[in-house]
Amino acid sequence: MPIVLLPLLGFLAALLGLLVSPVWLLPAALAYLVWAARFAGWLFSRPSP
Q: How far apart are CA 36 and CA 22, in angstroms?
A: 21
List, in order, residues 6 or more apart from 43 with CB less than 8 Å away: 3, 4, 7
Residue 33, exposed/middle/buried by CB under 10 A (0-12, 13-18, 19+)?
middle
Q: Is the dihedral of CA 19, 21, 23, 28 positive or negative?
A: negative
The pTM (predicted TM-score) of the whole model is 0.43
pLDDT greater than 80 at residue 6: no
- pLDDT one-digit tens code per residue, 12-25: 887 787 777 677 67
pLDDT of residue 28: 80
pLDDT of residue 42: 83
pLDDT of residue 2: 66
- pLDDT one-digit tens code per residue, 29-41: 788 888 888 888 8
Q: How far apart are CA 3 and CA 46, in angstroms?
A: 14
